[in-house]
Amino acid sequence: MANRPLTLSLLLALPLAACAVGPDYHPRAASELGVPDAWSVSAEQKAREDLSQWWTRFDDPMLGSLVQRAQAANLDVAQAVVRLRQAREGLVQQRANLLPSLSASGGVSHSESLRGGTRTTTLPDGTVTSISQGGSTSYTIGGDANYQVDLFGGVRRGVENARAAYEASGFDYATVLISVEAETARNYVLARVAQAQIANARDSLGIADDNLEIAGWRVQAGLVSSVDQEQARASRAQLAATIPTLEASYNSAVSRLGVLTGQAPGALKAEMEAVKPIPKGPAEVAAGIPADTLRQRPDVRAAERNLAAASANIGVATAQLYPSLSIGGSIDSGSSALSSLFDVITGRLFGNIAQTIFDGGTRRSQVRSAEAAADGAFLAYKSTVLTSLEDIENAIVAMQTAQRREQEFAVALDAANNQALLARMQYRSGLTDFTTLNQAESSLISAKNGLVSARSDESTALIQLYQALGGGWDASTTPSVSTTSTTGGTTNGN
């Protein structure tokens, strides 16, 4: 009968443990986030393509190799994996709070008299004798069990919070991954652009050398004044001055590629030395509908999980307003001899209910603070969604304008090339002055660089669009890591 109050408390606790205070989280609809039904710019809205390996669409094996190396060795990606592992352990620790804790203990003690330690005894025949007391040894063993009953779901809300934070960390990892992939591709494009510009500058420098030589001959022949020769010399020097700047740009891009792939800045210089064209991708990309960004963009999904975590945290704070119940028990045994250690075993069972009576409004303030944090998380979620739509539309327009510029620069290059050929022939024949030739050559150089720039902008805008659409990862899964992982590898699913 002594255990009836405790048994009654446990029976009352069971139905209460099925409830959880605080709001139940529900994903927000696209309309609540301000997502429109269609893009405000001209975009291909047919079904989304599989963009998990978008770099293969540039048909450049070197680009594909660099992106794969960056995925495997980039240090920012590795740090994101470490943060994912930490979040995973946070979830494990929160889940452990749902289970009872068990502990065991054992001990042995020995006592020995250091001084004195004798007692006087009178024998039956009247003889008085002193008996020396020896040492004694005792053994104990015991166990304890404790369980915090989750009466109002505070622990379960804590698990919800940790799970959402873990999933958000997985999406953060994916965000870092696709950012590194895009940056690797952009720097590869920049390196090829610098190579093309250096080649153009060196070709133009060769022509300038010819023009300077022709001007020198004409001055020696008395056909023109030395002004033509000085103009030719100045033009040639200005062209030569552009080459070191372009070489510095090339070195910067290649060095960045080395670091992005987890290597020293100069690791890829030999591999990148061979001149190759600027990679060119498809002319169109299916952008789908705006609502697709809620599923495809990992930063959007991370923001949504952060909102879920903040919502669960309201329940954690609210549960602190209500009583807490803990139950437990212990068993103990002790003896002066191992053989009789389990002859006498004692046990104890207890329950404890605690309720804060007055705390100056601290706990209610914590609830209001958690609610404010959830409101802030929703605003951050909505902001991330709208920013992602902005990124996509800007990338679409940037790619379309770069394509139109490329077409016009192709026409300009053809005309400038013809103009420069005619001007060069006329100058050699004495039919025009050097100023006309110099202007024609300048137009040709400008057209060449303009075409290279337009092609660079088109490829860069395409990379930007792939990143903005959430390409570069498997959006059908949630990145995760196993509890035994120590190498930083990730897996899919939970």
pLDDT for residue 12: 44
pLDDT for residue 9: 44
pLDDT for residue 194: 96
pLDDT greater than 60 at residue 328: yes
Out of 188-192, 213-217, 279-283, 400-404, pick the least confident.
Answer: 213-217
% of the chain with per-residue pLDDT over 90: 59
Provide the pLDDT confidence category of residue 339 given band limits of 50, 70 and 90: confident
Report residue 347 as tokens. 């046990």
Kindly report the average pLDDT of the chain as a whole number: 87
Out of 172-181, 199-208, 217-226, pick the least confident.
Answer: 217-226
Mean pLDDT of the 115-131 span: 67
% of the chain with per-residue pLDDT over 70: 90
pLDDT for residue 4: 47
Report pTM: 0.86
**Closest listed residue to residue 342, CA positions, set 350, 333, 352:** 333
CB 385 within 8 A of CB 369: no
Out of 10-19, 190-199, 310-319, pick the least confident.
Answer: 10-19
pLDDT for residue 130: 63
Tens-digit pLDDT profile for residues 388-400: 999 999 999 999 9
Distance, in Å, from the CA atom of 101 to the CA atom of 92, rounded to the nearest integer, reads: 15
Which residues of 123-166 form beta strands (DSSP E)? 128-132, 136-149
In 10 A of CB 433, how many CB atoms? Answer: 15
pLDDT greater than 50 at residue 13: no
Provide the pLDDT confidence category of residue 11 given band limits of 50, 70 and 90: very low
Q: How many helices (H) and strands (E) does the chain have?
A: 10, 8
Q: Supply the Cα-derived Rg of the chain in whole angstroms.
A: 39
Tens-digit pLDDT profile for residues 263-277: 999 999 999 999 999
